[in-house]
């Protein structure tokens, strides 16, 4: 076992992690631990843009952006956080420009902007061009730009280090962070990183679903390891299903296609979003568009031999315009479906995309042990965190903004904390739990296979916890997940080696997914209303009287939540500053 000492340790090297590292690395001795090489992080898959009220091509301001974020999140957004994000969005974009990001430009040389779902002018009156973009590979450009600047500032990276535990001490009855425990893929060695501050930026957990835009690595590691150490998870029931995944595959086609004029049509050729969102049509928030698409299919208006998808029509756009603005996503259609977007509509259907819930934080990025208590030295940012700037439904392009605004804040605040904090003592046995877990798994002789259990988990999540949910489907999912967790105890792997043992790590990641899937389903069962990405067919209306609150899910061996032992559900008030909840029309 090796021991390292740093002021700040950042877990994850996607957009949020590297944005934090750029700030922290200039203020304190910082290490970034990442399970994959930084430029392979999932931020690189983000396509459409990063929004900010620059007003470069149309009148716009940060207050309209704040309102759209709150309304888009179906009023479960913490409004102080939305104000921070919208105000700081402009500097966040300009920071990236100064770092060298090659944004698309207007003829006058300004950063160009385009429309995206749910972004409007004058509090909902008409769509507005707010998304700053680099063709349809904006996330890729952000990731490369941030990595180049991390190298410029001498940030230390530990690549292919899997963080499997966070060291949290109890001091005067309160949790205080002391470091992390990591597994090095190249050697199989365990490393303890002692640090005064830890920033989690580990991304999402979409691989609990079968049809997903998420990469194989998105298994919720950061959420799972903090959850096991007593940190709650906030709003786990809210998962976003992006409307335009390639049918049958889940590979994402950016909302930018609709921002550039793409139209969703059913088998009859009807532009059906005119019925569901008459004002902004195909550019309604993602939860509304995804449900509308699924409803068209359920009511028999789906396209294809099995009538199980709808069509994204780009054929009315000039090929030169498509090539200039949407080069990657049109190539995806050709490569994966054999469809020529110039002349044929593209088959699409909703795909699991983004978790609105996660590790609860303040607007400073500080992790909360409960509704009021900050864990000194522990921070989180990006998709693994829940500052609740997205509420129950994230607007497109707010994710790339979120990672830059709150990644920057977490990095600055972690480094400033480390300047005056004392290094907490790290016990000699701090890594024992991880060592035992790794050795037990590596030497397991069980008969259950990782792939079988993961496939069954993904099947039940797709079938029962996707766009439409009911009490019956959720209880069935919870029952199946419980049985899968029992089978997981009898898991076996084939690779007994120490080096590059991905068999071992996929088994550990499966354990994380099972635990988080249960948290999602139990929180969804508890929320007996429909709001944003959570739609209960047995409770189709939003219920502000009983459910205008965040759901906080705790691991607690002495409690039972919705009939599931070992879990406790509590609530947390939504912060309302300027915008009272109102009917959500588009």
Instruction: Give the pLDDT of residue 254.
Output: 87
Q: How far apart are CA 147 and CA 142, in angstroms?
A: 8
Q: What is the mean pLDDT of residues 508-533?
A: 97
Find out whether 242 is annotated in a ligand binding site: yes
Q: Where in the chain is the domain with CATH 3.90.700.10?
A: 254-349
Instruction: Give the pLDDT of residue 167.
Output: 97
Q: What is the pLDDT of residues 284-295, one digit of tens each?
A: 999 999 999 999
Q: What is the pLDDT of residues 245-283, one digit of tens each?
A: 999 999 999 898 999 999 999 999 999 999 999 999 999
Q: How far apart are CA 78 and CA 575, in angstroms?
A: 5
Find out whether 38 is annotated in a ligand binding site: yes
543: confidence class by pLDDT, cuts 50, 70, 90: very high
Q: What is the pLDDT of residues 397-425, one digit of tens each?
A: 999 999 999 999 999 999 999 999 999 99
Instruction: Give the pLDDT of residue 150.
Output: 96
How far is residue 54 from each of residues 89, 489, 528, measured CA to CA in Å? 9, 53, 39
Query: Does position 572 have pLDDT exceeding 90, yes or no?
Result: yes
Q: What is the 3-state secondary structure (H, E, C) of 256-300?
A: HHHHCCCEEECCCCCCCHHHHCCCCHHHCCHHHHHHHHHHHHHCC
Q: What is the mean pLDDT of residues 228-238?
A: 97
525: confidence class by pLDDT, cuts 50, 70, 90: very high
Instruction: Name the nearest CA neighbour of 64 among 89, 99, 47.
Output: 89
Find out whether 35 is annotated in a ligand binding site: yes
A 10 A CB-CB count for 110 gives 14
186: confidence class by pLDDT, cuts 50, 70, 90: very high
The SS3 of residue 224 is: helix
Query: Does position 446 have pLDDT exceeding 90, yes or no?
Result: yes
Find out whether 16 is annotated in a ligand binding site: yes
Find out whether 400 is annotated in a ligand binding site: yes
Q: How far apart are CA 177 and CA 216, in angstroms?
A: 29
329: confidence class by pLDDT, cuts 50, 70, 90: confident
Instruction: Give the pLDDT of residue 563.
Output: 87
Find out whether 34 is annotated in a ligand binding site: yes
Instruction: Give the pLDDT of residue 173.
Output: 87
Q: How far apart are CA 246 and CA 220, in angstroms?
A: 24
Instruction: Name the nearest CA neighbour of 59 among 154, 158, 134, 125.
Output: 125
- Please provide the average confidence, as pLDDT, over all residues in the chain: 96
Instruction: Give the pLDDT of residue 585.
Output: 86
This prediction has a pTM of: 0.95
Q: Are 216 and 530 in contact (CB under 8 A)?
A: no
Query: Does position 536 have pLDDT exceeding 90, yes or no?
Result: yes
454: confidence class by pLDDT, cuts 50, 70, 90: very high
Q: What is the mean pLDDT of residues 97-122?
A: 95
Q: What is the strand order of the sheet 239-246 is part of?
A: 239-246, 346-355, 310-313, 263-265
Q: Are 52 and 114 in contact (CB under 8 A)?
A: no
DSSP annotation of 304 reads: T
The secondary structure of 120-132 as a DSSP string is EETTTTEEEEEEE
Instruction: Name the nearest CA neighbour of 466 among 559, 394, 533.
Output: 533
Q: What is the mean pLDDT of residues 242-246?
A: 94
Q: What is the mean pLDDT of residues 469-495?
A: 96
Task: List active site positions.
Answer: 286
Q: How far apart are CA 137 and CA 254, in angstroms?
A: 9
The SS3 of residue 8 is: strand
Instruction: Give the pLDDT of residue 328.
Output: 87
Find out whether 47 is annotated in a ligand binding site: yes
Find out whether 40 is annotated in a ligand binding site: yes
Q: How far apart are CA 501 and CA 495, in angstroms?
A: 7
Q: What angle do CA 276, 282, 286 make, to 5 degrees?
A: 85
Instruction: Give the pLDDT of residue 90.
Output: 98
What the block records as the tokens of 586 is 């588009």
Q: Where in the chain is the domain with CATH 1.20.58.100?
A: 429-571
Q: What's the CATH class of domain 254-349?
A: alpha beta
Find out whether 45 is annotated in a ligand binding site: yes
Find out whether 113 is annotated in a ligand binding site: no
- The pLDDT > 70 percentage for the chain reads 100
Q: Are 204 and 42 in contact (CB under 8 A)?
A: yes
Instruction: Give the pLDDT of residue 264.
Output: 97
How far is residue 272 from each of residues 68, 275, 289, measured CA to CA in Å? 23, 6, 10
Instruction: Give the pLDDT of residue 256.
Output: 87
Burial class (CB in 10 A: 0-12, 13-18, 19+), 292: buried
Find out whether 36 is annotated in a ligand binding site: yes
Q: How far apart are CA 206 and CA 516, in angstroms?
A: 10
Instruction: Name the nearest CA neighbour of 390 among 379, 378, 406.
Output: 406
> 162: left (phi > 0), else alpha (psi -120 to 50), else beta?
beta
Specify the range with the lowest mean pLDDT, choosing from 80-89, 187-196, 554-563: 554-563
Q: What is the pLDDT of residues 343-360, one digit of tens each?
A: 999 999 999 999 999 999
The SS3 of residue 250 is: coil
DSSP annotation of 76 reads: -
Find out whether 19 is annotated in a ligand binding site: no
Return the CATH number of 429-571, one of 1.20.58.100, 1.10.10.920, 3.30.450.20, 3.10.450.50: 1.20.58.100
- How far, rounded to the nearest angstrom, does the alpha carbon of residue 456 sit from its chain's CA centroid? 22
């Amino acid at each position: 076992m090796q021991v390292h000492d740093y002021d700040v340790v950042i877990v994850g090297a996607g957009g949020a992690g590297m944005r934090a590292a750029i700030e922290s690395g200039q203020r304190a001795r910082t290490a970034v631990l990442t399970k994959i090489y930084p430029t392979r992080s999932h931020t690189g898959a983000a396509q459409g843009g990063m929004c900010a009220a620059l007003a470069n091509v149309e009148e716009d301001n940060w207050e309209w952006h704040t309102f759209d974020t709150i309304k888009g999140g179906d009023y479960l957004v913490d409004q102080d956080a939305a104000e921070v994000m919208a105000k700081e969005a402009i500097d966040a974009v300009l920071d990236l420009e100064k770092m060298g990001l090659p944004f698309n430009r207007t003829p006058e040389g300004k950063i160009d902007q385009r429309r995206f779902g749910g972004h409007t002018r004058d509090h909902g009156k008409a769509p507005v061009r707010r998304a700053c973009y680099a063709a349809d590979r904006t996330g890729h450009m952000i990731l490369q730009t941030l990595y180049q600047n991390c190298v410029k500032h001498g940030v230390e990276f530990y690549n292919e280090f899997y963080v499997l535990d966070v060291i949290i001490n109890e001091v005067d009855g309160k949790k205080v962070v002391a470091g992390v425990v990591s597994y090095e893929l190249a050697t199989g060695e365990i490393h303890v990183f002692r640090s005064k501050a830890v920033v989690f930026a580990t991304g999402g957990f979409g691989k609990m679903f079968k049809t997903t835009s998420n990469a194989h690595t998105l298994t919720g590691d950061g959420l799972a390891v903090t959850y096991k150490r007593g940190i709650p998870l906030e709003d786990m029931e809210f998962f976003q299903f992006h409307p335009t995944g390639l049918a049958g595959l889940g590979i994402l086609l950016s909302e930018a296609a609709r921002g550039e004029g793409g139209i969703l049509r059913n088998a009859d050729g009807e532009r059906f979003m005119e019925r569901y969102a008459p004002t902004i049509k195909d550019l309604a928030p993602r939860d509304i568009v995804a449900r509308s698409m699924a409803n068209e299919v359920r009511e028999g208006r789906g396209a294809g031999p099995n009538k199980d998808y709808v069509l994204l029509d780009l054929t009315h756009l000039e090929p030169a315009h498509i090539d200039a603005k949407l080069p990657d996503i049109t190539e995806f259609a050709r490569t994966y479906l054999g469809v020529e977007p110039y002349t044929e509509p593209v088959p699409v259907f909703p795909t699991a995309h983004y978790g609105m819930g996660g590790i609860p934080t303040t607007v400073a990025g500080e992790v909360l042990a409960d509704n009021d208590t900050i864990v000194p030295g522990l921070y989180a940012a990006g998709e693994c965190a829940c500052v609740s700037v997205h509420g129950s439904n994230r607007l497109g392009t707010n994710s790339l903004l979120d990672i830059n605004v709150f990644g920057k804040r977490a990095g600055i605040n972690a480094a400033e904390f480390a300047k005056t904090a004392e290094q907490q003592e790290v016990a000699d046995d701090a890594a024992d739990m991880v060592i035992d877990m790794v050795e037990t798994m590596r030497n397991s002789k069980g008969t259950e296979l990782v792939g079988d259990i993961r496939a069954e988990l993904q099947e039940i999540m797709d079938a029962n916890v996707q766009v439409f949910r009911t009490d019956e489907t959720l209880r069935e999912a919870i029952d199946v997940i419980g049985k899968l967790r029992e089978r997981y105890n009898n898991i076996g792997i084939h690779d007994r080696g120490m080096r590059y043992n991905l068999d071992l790590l996929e088994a550990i990641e499966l354990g994380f997914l099972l635990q988080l899937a249960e948290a999602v389903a139990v929180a969804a069962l508890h929320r007996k209303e429909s709001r944003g990405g959570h739609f209960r067919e047995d409770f189709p209306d939003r219920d502000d009287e009983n459910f205008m609150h965040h759901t906080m899910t705790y691991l607690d061996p002495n409690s039972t939540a919705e009939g599931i032992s070992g879990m406790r559900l509590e609530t947390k008030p939504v912060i309302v500053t300027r915008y009272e909840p109102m009917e959500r029309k588009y």
